[in-house]
Amino acid sequence: MKLKEINKKEFFDFCSTHQTNNFHQSKEWAEYKRLDGWHTYFIGLDHNGQIKAASLLLAKEIPIIKRRVFYAPYGFIINYKDLELVRSFSKHVKEFISSKKAVFVKINPYLSIKELDNSGNYIQGGYDNEKCLDVLKSLGYIKMDKYLDPVTFYKLNIEDKSIEDILNNMNQEVANTIITNEKKGIYSRDVNSNEYDKIINIIYNNSNSINHIGNNIKEFLQIFGEDNHVNVKILEMDIDKYLENATTDTEKEEAKNFEYNYGHKVIVGCSISVCYKDEVTTLCSLIQDKFRDMLIQYSINYEVIKWAIENNYKTYNFGPIDNNIDDNNKLYQSYKGFNGNVVKLLGEFDLVINTFIYKQYYKYCKSKNKTINDLK
């Protein structure tokens, strides 16, 4: 077997059917990360003309010493249960990046450790990839306790489900909130590039937002939108509909106040989701500050789930959540009512090429509270 740089088509063709495939390992993500100064490589392990493992590698130079750090975001794309394959790929990757003055390569496989339930507890008889940890450690990978990118997510299986199935299976309080919001005229509509500036302006001018894209939102939308890998939604309130549906005095008064302040329609929130392989992941969402008491977040996720089902996706990823799964994790609590699953990935690992520089570099990063993302 030999490692070689491969073109984008070869990379996509291999990754498209692989279990660990994800949008961070894509030509679009490579193009997006180049905006932050990362150099990109697509590599594949060739065996008799057939690719057996692959990865997008990002590289940046450490100033002054002119050495480079490498990162395989949510990679490698490989069967982690195959010890010999992982051993061979790791050996060849070390040789490849050593020739490019690397200090280390960082990986965080898009593979969960064990199957977890809605509360983050292990499911008896569920899948178990814990042995993959031992495989990586046996090959010299160092497991990190602090992560460059999130390793805990909240997901919902939507394969062969109707939106009625999802609504009936969720927490009754969440379902009631979504139904109440619909009564108030809350609905979503997809937007195209003509309204991207409006969306971005709303995101940057409201404090109640979740943003896992970063500062280059417009560029992200342009890059992933080119091949229809994004779904952008605006949530609006049809105030005329709310006036029509209002039955109690409280509802009628609220609807009239909305009409007085906003007219016939008003934007209450928005979302940006990336759609890749069979999964839809919401990376950015917000509720306009003036509507934050209406629990619009439930409706935002519900509307994206509805769209994902209509477009035959299998999984809805609500996005990253903090590793502490408890009552104090407000983001997790807002998702939990959908009755999905907590997903914890294997974690983050470093494969070291130059031990001396690696130790000195991490000592510096720790003292300055920096990561490789802070390299210029």
State yes or no: pLDDT of 340 exceeds 90. Answer: yes
Beta bridge partners of 285: 210, 271
Answer for the pair 270, 202: CB distance below 8 angstroms, yes or no.
Answer: yes
User: What's the mean per-residue pLDDT of the chain?
Assistant: 94
The 10s digit of each residue's pLDDT in 24-59 is 999 999 999 999 999 999 999 999 999 999 999 999
The 10s digit of each residue's pLDDT in 344-358 is 999 999 999 999 999
Place of tokens 């990109």: 40
In the sheet that holds 67-72, the strands lie side by side as: 2-5, 39-47, 50-62, 67-72, 102-107, 349-352, 142-143
Tell me what pLDDT residue 74 has: 97
Query: Which fold, 154-343?
Result: Aminopeptidase (3.40.630)
Q: How confident is the model at residue 75 (pLDDT cuts 50, 70, 90)?
A: very high
| pTM of the entire predicted model | 0.95
Tell me what pLDDT residue 36 has: 93
Q: How confident is the model at residue 205 (pLDDT cuts 50, 70, 90)?
A: confident
Tell me what pLDDT residue 184 has: 95
State yes or no: pLDDT of 237 exceeds 90. Answer: yes
Average pLDDT over residues 238-265: 96
User: Which is it for the CA torsion 172, 176, 182, 183, positive or negative?
Assistant: positive
Q: Give the start-to-end residue ranges of the domains of the chain.
A: 2-150+345-374, 154-343
Q: How confident is the model at residue 328 (pLDDT cuts 50, 70, 90)?
A: confident
Tell me what pLDDT residue 196 has: 93
Question: The domain 2-150+345-374 belongs to what CATH superfamily?
Answer: Gcn5-related N-acetyltransferase (GNAT) (3.40.630.30)
Q: How confident is the model at residue 180 (pLDDT cuts 50, 70, 90)?
A: very high
State yes or no: pLDDT of 376 exceeds 80. Answer: no
Q: Which two tokens stand for residue 196?
A: 């991207």
- Cβ partners under 8 Å of residue 60, min gap 6: 37, 38, 39, 68, 69, 372, 375
Q: How confident is the model at residue 105 (pLDDT cuts 50, 70, 90)?
A: very high
Do 154-343 and 2-150+345-374 have the same topology in CATH? yes
Tell me what pLDDT residue 325 has: 85
Tell me what pLDDT residue 368 has: 87
Average pLDDT over residues 121-147: 94
